[in-house]
Structure 1
């Protein structure tokens, strides 16, 4: 321990001082290697004789400029690897050639020609050994003898695992104790003195070595095999993480902060939906595309994926100035990175402002609109039903009306599974938005004067309207996974509203891909839903995340553990189980994981008077009247026990 800690004062020196020490060491080694060469060749141990002193002067004077030219004094000893040693060998090789030529040319008295061969070999040995010992001394002190560091196994003895191990040698956060690999040909062998274990040996090794962390370094592994590995590791008292980016590894900047928590796909234990590239590009390539709510979780991901499909112009509509600034700056970076020539137009606007939306659509003439602007946090909308209705219902109507008047080709609404037999205002308002679009889609021309009064005349409908309905979005603002991760970092408890609450889950990229693909398949009025597999119990997700963080849970008969799961009770607006379809027998589509339903709707003539009543109620904040109209229009609303959770976000 004292040996390793003795390097600390040296590491604290200024870089210029450390560089001078390295130069001095090399010059001394050059002189020593000359002395050893004379000793081996002529058994001479005394002072130089005749013209031998010239060789003592030549060696350091020749080595210094060559080493500088090869950049050997820019390297950091703690990061020395095979590439640095190879560079050292090249420098000494050139030095040896010039040194030998000088010996032959000057023919100094008392200097055998063989000195020109022996000395460079000894010099290479001394310099390489000094680098290797310095790396061992300086890097080794970072991981040995310090209490509280993590004890790590790397799962994967391939290139990624080995590169990770090399990078870990320069940080203090972990002591690497071995590798794990599925390849039986590798099991039992070693890498840099560390054993490669088979998967069956891991439980015993965890207990024997006191392992605290396992790092997955298998980036090319298939999802099914990866899930199987994680399922086994979940039973061990270790924190499971995944590999950082290869750029960080290559730069030697790996720290504990670079090790990432497991992907959301790992937590769900299922593969994401694969996109159909032809569908993704159909309504995007070389077109003007408009996205409302462009700075939100779904809207921003839509923008990223749309940009990659090569549109002519991307119009960002967002109410929040900061959110718009953030996504615009990110998209400009992506555009520069991929050398795209599209125009990105950031526009501040509220969907509640019809005139502003008309102005935007008239100026930019979008071919496709993705309407993601919505109030989506269930408990907040439950407390503010007037604002929820004005934004979700009438904001959608305003955007749809502006789109129709500008002859937008496709209009796609981002909806939610909470619109199915909703038990909260947010879900009911999203179902109302669906009803608005279904009514518009069923009309070849729409007389908006029925809704807003005045003799406006009918607006011809040349827009294809579609809706995309999906479940909870993991990783979005307010979603359950970031909440649980924050609670794990704080030491708990993990809060779950009810032990039986289940939800359908998907990732933000999946949701965005679904919206883009479904919109491309629309003919008008469809509600698209995703086959999302089996729903997940929230409490099971909480247990899974705790175990993968290396924590044990105190619940039931288990009074000893690291963290609690607290049942907070059902809140107004939440269902225990979510649904995706109102009706039965959904139709298939060109995408194997996307279904289509033409659900019951009412005509625009029937809907418009009810919208008038609802708008009046919303503008005067008559919550009772709003909910009565929602009960009248939305199937299932207000007929079930209701609860909601702030732990989850839907759109």
Structure 2
């Protein structure tokens, strides 16, 4: 039966409805003659019916086609369709009067009226019965998804109407917070309190919940959805009608706000200028080319028109994405730049040696590093090996290959670090300082480093984390109300790197004037408010999103510093400063690296921490077991 119904095309369905209307005509006429006793006996009445019947059937079919009522699906037969049926009945009354007069039957006006009313009632009833039959066939011949509507307002009511004739979805009930609706029926469905939702779901075997509460803010909808999903339910959110037609401007809320809008100061925006000459026509290698900073380095370096750009990356996916992006730019701009993607690790000395020698690399921008503080804290050996020995390997091979300039991308967390990630970056800086001092009199590779604060929008940074928490409905997590950080955009960071590398003379630490540090708690409020929501706290308990204080994580500082010494010297670029900091002697750095390697070979995390504690100023010991969030 179900397959037969599904096989019907539009013309066949219309013919069925026309046949039903035609069959209703004799029933309506019989009802009219029976209801109005005109005398003359049964035979006389039957003769009158037979005279009228052929013409009235043709009239019923013709009028139905003309006004289009036969084309209306039974699932869409509602108030407007009932009105068309009334029009159909009126035309049939007129046709009945005309035909009877032409035939000379002299039938009373009341009979024509009863005939029209009877046809109208029969037509409406037939369609209602037909709809129930079709729904019954679908209900028992196929699996239907039982749906609970969350919200019995206008949107929920309209949704139930739309789903009445759906093949595979069956609305079962409403839940709503409005106490005035509890116990009532909306669209013939019962309305239950939201506190009883678990019971309603269990008793009615609910498969899916439709959130029909567009008046609630998106975070509150996300909170409801997350609670329902924990019950094993599929949850979908319905927009309001005004959202569908575009009257409510929600695009800003759906689109993440640019990270640079949270900078808290004017963005440093100056052209590279003469710094471009340090890369133009040269072979440039960027390690960590697929990362947040590495990929932006790639974008800005190709604007300097190097002869060859080598993308050195450990992640296959990240390498593929940046390679495809840059190839598209190079092709579109008709640049004569050879792009070489290399999948590998900076800790692989043989690969690094071959890569630098084969392509005659002149500039190395070293951005490859593990930088997520809790992850490195939980995996100290891996973090130290990659960040320290990777830097050592790349720097030593660069010196042997005759590379002109080597720039290390460092972090403000390297200054008196209280975590393994910061300590690993400080050790990497000490390696580069040692290389710079050893080669200072040999006119070899110029080694330098650039140190900056948190990069807004980079992977693992706080703003994308806040925006993801916001998308899930909150809360936004802040470790301490007093925590503050320096921030810069990735575009600023990369310009600093390229300009500092160009002006470096050797062993400098470059920093950017980043203004005042930004309180993270304040930043969380900005993220919430920039999305158009309110912060939920003691002063505003009805707000949308809460900010939760989780406590400082192991290795986390309340604030960061940019330099070990306070002596900053200006450069040709107004916002870029440099400083020279004391490092370790050649013997000390060799001892530190040897001890660190022994700890790695022994797979002894505590031994590695002892090495770092001895040689890195300010480093403190924390429990090795860390919960990563």
Q: Per-residue CA shift, 1:26-65, capped at 9, x if unaligned?
A: xxxxxxxxxxxxxxxxxxxxxxxxxxxxxxxxxxxxxxxx
2:582 equivalent among 592, 596, 600: 600
Contact map agreement 2:554 2:622 (CA 8 A) in 1: no
1:633 equivalent among 615, 622, 626: 615
How do 1:351-370 and structure 2 match up within 5 A? 351-370=346-365
Aligned twin of 1:337: 332
Structure-2 change in CA distance of 1:607 and 1:304 (3 Å)? same
How do 1:151-190 and structure 2 match up within 5 A? 173=244, 175=246
1:494 aligns with 2:489: no
1:409 equivalent among 404, 410, 415: 404
Structure-2 change in CA distance of 1:496 and 1:646 (3 Å)? farther
* Partner SS, residue 328 of structure 1: helix
2:370 equivalent among 375, 390, 396: 375
Alignment partners' CA distance in 2, 1:337 and 1:301: 18
Aligned twin of 2:463: 481
1:418 aligns with 2:383: no
1:526 aligns with 2:508: yes
Structure-2 change in CA distance of 1:548 and 1:379 (3 Å)? same
1:262 aligns with 2:270: no
Aligned-residue offset at 1:383: 1.0
Q: Per-residue CA shift, 1:156-188, capped at 9, x if unaligned?
A: xxxxxxxxxxxxxxx954645xxxxxxxxxxxx
Alignment partners' CA distance in 2, 1:641 and 1:530: 33
Q: Per-residue CA shift, 1:109-129, capped at 9, x if unaligned?
A: xxxxxxxxxxxxxxxxxxxxx
* Partner SS, residue 415 of structure 1: strand
Aligned-residue offset at 1:620: 1.8
How many aligned residue pairs are there?
Answer: 397
1:504 aligns with 2:447: no
How do 1:197-236 and structure 2 match up within 5 A? 213=249
Contact map agreement 1:488 1:494 (CA 8 A) in 2: yes
Aligned twin of 2:120: none
Aligned twin of 2:605: 623
Structure-2 change in CA distance of 1:406 and 1:386 (3 Å)? same
1:551 equivalent among 533, 541, 556: 533
* Partner SS, residue 481 of structure 1: helix
Structure-2 change in CA distance of 1:621 and 1:641 (3 Å)? closer
Aligned-residue offset at 1:149: 7.9
Q: Per-residue CA shift, 1:220-253, capped at 9, x if unaligned?
A: xxxxxxxxxxxxxxxxxxxxx3xxxxxxxxxxxx
Aligned twin of 2:392: 397
More helix by share: 2
Q: Per-residue CA shift, 1:263-291, capped at 9, x if unaligned?
A: 22222242211233224413211110000
Structure-2 change in CA distance of 1:333 and 1:645 (3 Å)? farther
2:549 equivalent among 560, 563, 567: 567
Aligned-residue offset at 1:559: 2.0
2:572 equivalent among 575, 578, 590: 590
Alignment partners' CA distance in 2, 1:439 and 1:376: 22
Structure-2 change in CA distance of 1:404 and 1:270 (3 Å)? same
Listed as ranges, the gaps of 5+ residues in structure 1 are: 1-12, 14-144, 152-170, 177-211, 216-240, 242-255, 447-459
Aligned-residue offset at 1:645: 10
* Partner SS, residue 545 of structure 1: helix
Aligned-residue offset at 1:324: 1.0
Alignment partners' CA distance in 1, 2:575 and 2:623: 31
Aligned twin of 1:120: none
Aligned twin of 2:169: none
Alignment partners' CA distance in 2, 1:599 and 1:314: 32
Alignment partners' CA distance in 2, 1:575 and 1:640: 13
How do 1:308-347 and structure 2 match up within 5 A? 308-347=303-342
Alignment partners' CA distance in 2, 1:442 and 1:335: 38
Aligned twin of 1:300: 295
Alignment partners' CA distance in 2, 1:606 and 1:547: 51
Alignment partners' CA distance in 2, 1:533 and 1:434: 24
Listed as ranges, the gaps of 5+ residues in structure 2 are: 1-9, 11-157, 160-211, 217-241
Aligned twin of 1:432: 427
Q: Per-residue CA shift, 1:496-554, capped at 9, x if unaligned?
A: 11111111111111111111111111000000011101111111111111112221112
Alignment partners' CA distance in 2, 1:494 and 1:172: 27
Q: Which moved more, 1:394-403 or 1:260-269?
A: 260-269
Alignment partners' CA distance in 2, 1:351 and 1:637: 25
Structure-2 change in CA distance of 1:418 and 1:374 (3 Å)? same
Q: Per-residue CA shift, 1:560-599, capped at 9, x if unaligned?
A: 2111111111111100101101101210111111110100
Contact map agreement 1:496 1:539 (CA 8 A) in 2: yes
* Partner SS, residue 548 of structure 2: strand
TM normalised by structure 1 equals 0.58
